[in-house]
Amino acid sequence: MPKTGRATGIPNLLIYGPHAVGFQLLTLEDPTRSFPSDDPAAPRSRPVRVYIWYPAEGASGKAMKVGDFVRLAADDFRLTTKASSDARKEANLPVPLAKGLDRPQTQALMKSPIKAILGAEAGPGTSPLLIVGQGLYYESPLSHIFLCEYLASRGYVVASCPLLGTQHRLVNLNVEDLETAIRDLEFAAAVVERLTKKK
pLDDT tens sequence for the chain (199 residues): 233 333 344 455 788 999 999 999 999 999 999 888 877 777 789 999 999 999 998 777 889 999 998 888 888 776 444 545 555 545 556 655 666 667 788 888 888 899 999 999 999 888 999 999 987 766 788 888 999 999 999 999 999 999 888 888 888 888 999 999 999 999 999 999 988 776 5
Note whether residue 28 is domain-resident: yes
Note whether residue 80 is domain-resident: no
Q: Which residue range forms the structural domain that includes residue 143?
A: 20-63+116-198
Note whether residue 9 is domain-resident: no
Note whether residue 31 is domain-resident: yes
Note whether residue 51 is domain-resident: yes
CB atoms within 10 A of CB 149: 25
Note whether residue 171 is domain-resident: yes
The total number of structural domains that make up the chain: 1
Note whether residue 186 is domain-resident: yes
Q: Which of 133, 130, 140 is nearest to 54 (CA)?
A: 130
pTM of the model as a whole:
0.82
Note whether residue 149 is domain-resident: yes
